[in-house]
Every structure is written in structure tokens, then in C-alpha cells.
């Protein structure tokens, strides 16, 4: 038969009296503190029963006990919450950066209107500066189902401001009258402005690094004049190296690339053409190049930057460190809190409460800590997201990540409570009356 979780007050007093007589006969006095705890526990239960009999809603006693234990020592409670908040905020920042990093790795691929990408063999990511011979374009155009193959150039260069300072930039060359890779989110100027001599497009978030304040500013790229004619908002590089858009021939001049060389060919298929069929025929025809779908190119770029370079491992390591710190702090706090109240838990067991009931009290303490800590950490995380929104490397937050972090907080706190439960399991109920 299942042991009741609530004991009638009169039964509590009878059991308490039996323990009193037994301990008196053994020559040991009853611990006054434990007696007061037992009486208080009896009064709480009596109040619960009276409210229930009167038909009034009541908070279950198990929650009251958990809350009293948790909030009894304000300093220890604050330490618990600070530990949870610190670890969850650290995990939030690391995972938010990971999401941002993952999206920014493929931002150019996502915005390129291509059915297939033709690239040099072995290309690992979008920023790879390997070059194709533009004659590959004519081979591609000869394949049935290909309507166009638009050349674009990606290369690194040095941006020099009038003061003489330099900074590396990534040049993206593509002609605006083709279906190539063009700047988007344009806030000042227009795409047609890139046809003006020496015109380039830069993003607002890199103004400080490029020594620019907006339209009309001039600089030099490989001793060639460059003038800001287009300003975008939100086109950021995950390497924090600014993107600079220009016409294809102008980009070749800025980077010293031969006129017959390009980095990629953006393949556009004719209506009704089968992508896989065209891709297999391209790969069989191209000499020193290969064709990938946008999804394959995204996957390859993410794999390279997140895992082969170690950048993803570093972010995951930071998140793991945050979890470990949080678990250690919360476990230590819950353990200390439980150890301080061992007499109270022993008294509960002595007057008839089951081990499951006491374990539930400790778990609820952990859950209360999780909810309070996560609420503060989530608010802090949203402030960080807002503060970094316009920076070169913003922290992203999604509802899926929020839900995962809440689940992580709950699991972290419950796992931390296990150490406290192990201590309670070893309690001998008689120890509450033998001090």
C-alpha cells in the first residue's frame, strides 16, 4: 500500500510522542530544534487540510517546503542564481555566435541566384581564391539545359584610406546587368550606380574600419581609386573582413586578376531542365572544375569553417565550459543547502514522509532555481542580442535556441540536485532526535 504523502496532524503528534518516549528510555534527550520543525510541519499540514475542507485553493505543501528551503539563506540563493545566470548567458552567447557564424558562412551563397555553382576542383568555401579559366563558361553553355553561366570574381585586396592606413577587404566582382551576385539591403545609392567609374559598394557596419562616413568617400585599392557610391545595411562577413562590391572588370583591376580568370560561374538552367542531369553532364565535361548545387556548396562551406578550421569547436568548447561551470555551482549550492537542512529532512522521514516525497522537494528546489535563473539569463541574453545587432559579428537568438536553453537549464539543475539527493538517501530518521 502506498504511503500517504500528507499525515493527519493527530497522527503526527502520536508518532512524535512515541519517538520521544523511545529516546527518553535510551537516555538521550529530544533535539529541541527537531521538535520545533516537527510541530511546524504539523501546523502546516493542519492548515492545508483546513483550507482543503473549506474548499479554498491551496499551494501544495511540497512546494512550500521547497520554497522555504530555497529562500531560507538569501546569500546562498543569490549565489545559486548567479551561477545559473552566468552559465546560461555564456552558453547563450556561444551558441548565438555559432548560429550567427553558421548563417554568415553561407550568406553570399544564399543570395546568389544560381541553380548550380561551377568552381575550381577542391574549392572548400566561398572565400577560396582559386581561379577558373573563363573558357569553362563556354563549355558550360554548350550543355543542353544551361541558359546562362554568369562569371563572378572573389578575391582579397588592401583598402587604403586617404590617411594612409590599410585594411584587408574581400572584393566581389559582378556586373549589375547580369544575374550575378549583387549587393542587397541597399540603404543609399542604387545598383545602377556601380556602373559609374570607380564606384564600389560597402556596408554601413564597416564604416569605421574603412574610414568612411558614407556616399562620396574615396579610397584606394591596389593603387586604383575607389569611390563609395552604394551603401548596404547588414551584409557582414563572418571573418569580419569587409565585403566590397564592384563591376567584374574593375574587381579584376583591384585584385590584379588576369582578364580571362574568374572564381565562380553561376549557372542558370532553362525552364524544365533537370538539375541533377545537368550537373552530372557538367562534371563530365568540365576540365578542371566541378559543379555543385547551392545546398552542397553551403554544406561544404559550413563544414570547412565550422569544423576543419576549429572555429566551431572553439564555440562548442565555450558553451560546454559554461554548462560545466553552471552545474558545479548549482550542485555545490544545492548540496550545501541540503546538508544544512539534513535534520529537517530526517524529521520528515521520521514522521512518515516517503523518500520519494523528500526527493521531490529537492527536485522542486532545483526547478525553482532553474526557472528564476533562466528568466534572468534570457533577459540578459536578449539585451546582448540587441546590443550586438549592428556589430560586425552579431549574436543571434531563435525560439528554438531559447527552448533548448530552457531545457538545458532544467536538466542542469536537476542533475545538480542528484548530489543532494544522494546525501538525503543516507539519512537515518533517528538522527533528527539524537543531537
57: phi then psi, degrees, rounded to nearest 5: -70, 140
Query: Across-strand partners of 116?
Result: 267
pLDDT in tens, 297-325: 988 888 888 777 776 677 777 777 767 77
DSSP symbols for 101-154: HHHHHTHHHHHS--SEEEEETT--STT----EETHHHHHHHTSTTEEEEEEEEE
Range of the domain at 410: 58-98+313-433
The torsion of the CA quartet 52, 56, 58, 61, rounded to 10 degrees, works out to: -20
On whether both 181 and 79 belong to a single domain, the answer is: no
- The pLDDT score that the predictor gives to residue 80 is 75
Boundary residue ending a domain (292, 322, 353): 292
Whether the per-residue pLDDT at 201 is higher than 50: the answer is yes
In a domain, 385, yes or no: yes
Residue 199 contacts residue 246 (beta carbons within 8 Å): yes
On whether both 200 and 72 belong to a single domain, the answer is: no
In a domain, 186, yes or no: yes
Residue 360 contacts residue 93 (beta carbons within 8 Å): no
Residue that is written with C-alpha cell 568612411 in the block: 212
On whether both 391 and 425 belong to a single domain, the answer is: yes
On whether both 147 and 279 belong to a single domain, the answer is: yes
In a domain, 253, yes or no: yes
pLDDT in tens, 6-61: 443 444 445 445 545 554 554 444 455 455 555 555 565 555 556 555 555 544 66
Domain count, the chain: 2
Direct distance between the N- and C-terminal alpha carbons of the chain, in angstroms, rounded to an integer: 33
pLDDT in tens, 138-166: 888 888 888 888 999 999 999 988 778 88
107: Cβ contacts below 8 Å, ≥ 6 apart: 235, 236, 238
On whether both 261 and 328 belong to a single domain, the answer is: no
Query: What pTM, to 2 d.p., does this model score?
Result: 0.67
Boundary residue ending a domain (292, 325, 354): 292
- The pLDDT score that the predictor gives to residue 23 is 46
Whether the per-residue pLDDT at 386 is higher than 80: the answer is yes
Boundary residue ending a domain (292, 324, 339): 292
On whether both 270 and 148 belong to a single domain, the answer is: yes
pLDDT in tens, 336-375: 666 666 666 666 666 666 677 777 777 887 788 888 888 8
Residue that is written with C-alpha cell 542542469 in the block: 412
Residue 329 contacts residue 83 (beta carbons within 8 Å): yes
Amino acid at each position: 500500500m502506498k504511503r500517504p504523502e500528507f499525515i493527519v496532524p493527530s497522527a503526527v503528534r502520536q508518532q512524535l510522542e512515541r519517538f520521544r518516549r523511545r529516546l527518553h528510555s535510551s537516555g538521550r534527550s529530544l533535539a529541541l530544534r527537531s521538535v520545533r520543525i516537527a510541530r511546524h510541519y504539523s501546523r502546516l499540514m493542519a492548515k492545508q487540510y483546513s483550507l482543503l475542507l473549506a474548499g479554498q485553493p491551496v499551494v501544495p505543501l511540497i512546494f512550500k517546503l521547497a520554497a522555504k528551503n530555497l529562500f531560507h539563506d538569501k546569500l546562498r540563493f543569490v549565489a545559486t542564481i548567479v551561477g545559473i545566470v552566468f552559465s546560461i548567458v555564456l552558453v547563450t552567447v556561444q551558441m548565438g555566435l555559432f548560429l550567427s557564424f553558421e548563417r554568415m558562412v553561407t550568406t553570399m551563397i544564399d543570395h546568389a541566384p544560381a541553380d548550380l555553382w561551377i568552381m575550381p576542383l577542391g574549392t572548400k568555401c566561398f572565400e577560396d581564391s582559386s581561379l577558373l579559366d573563363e573558357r569553362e563558361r563556354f563549355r558550360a553553355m554548350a550543355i543542353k539545359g544551361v541558359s546562362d553561366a554568369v562569371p563572378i570574381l572573389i578575391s582579397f585586396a588592401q583598402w587604403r584610406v586617404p590617411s594612409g592606413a590599410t585594411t584587408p577587404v574581400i572584393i566581389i566582382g559582378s556586373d549589375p546587368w547580369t544575374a550575378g551576385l549583387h549587393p542587397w539591403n541597399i540603404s543609399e545609392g542604387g545598383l545602377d550606380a556601380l556602373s559609374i567609374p570607380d564606384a564600389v559598394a560597402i556596408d554601413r557596419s564597416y564604416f569605421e574600419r574603412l574610414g568612411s562616413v558614407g556616399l562620396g568617400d574615396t579610397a584606394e585599392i591596389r593603387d586604383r581609386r575607389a569611390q563609395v557610391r552604394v551603401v548596404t545595411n547588414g551584409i557582414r562577413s563572418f571573418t569580419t573582413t569587409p565585403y566590397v562590391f564592384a563591376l567584374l572588370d574593375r574587381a579584376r583591376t583591384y585584385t590584379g586578376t588576369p582578364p580571362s580568370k574568374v572564381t565562380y560561374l553561376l549557372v542558370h538552367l532553362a525552364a524544365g531542365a533537370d538539375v541533377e542531369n545537368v550537373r552530372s553532364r557538367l562534371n563530365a565535361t568540365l576540365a578542371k572544375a566541378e559543379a555543385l548545387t547551392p545546398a552542397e556548396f553551403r554544406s561544404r562551406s559550413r563544414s570547412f569553417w565550422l569544423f576543419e578550421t576549429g572555429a566551431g569547436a572553439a564555440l562548442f568548447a565555450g558553451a560546454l565550459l559554461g554548462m560545466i561551470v553552471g552545474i558545479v555551482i548549482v550542485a555545490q549550492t544545492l548540496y550545501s543547502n541540503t546538508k544544512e537542512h539534513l535534520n529537517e529532512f530526517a524529521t520528515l522521514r521520521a514522521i512518515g514522509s516517503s523518500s520519494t516525497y523528500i526527493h521531490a522537494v529537492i527536485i522542486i528546489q532545483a526547478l525553482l532555481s532553474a526557472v528564476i535563473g533562466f528568466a534572468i539569463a534570457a533577459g540578459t541574453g536578449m539585451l546582448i542580442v540587441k546590443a550586438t545587432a549592428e556589430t560586425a559579428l552579431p549574436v543571434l537568438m531563435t525560439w528554438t535556441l531559447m527552448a533548448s536553453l530552457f531545457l538545458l537549464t532544467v536538466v542542469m539543475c536537476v542533475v545538480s540536485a542528484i548530489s543532494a539527493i544522494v546525501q538525503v538517501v543516507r539519512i537515518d530518521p533517528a538522527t533528527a532526535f539524537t543531537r
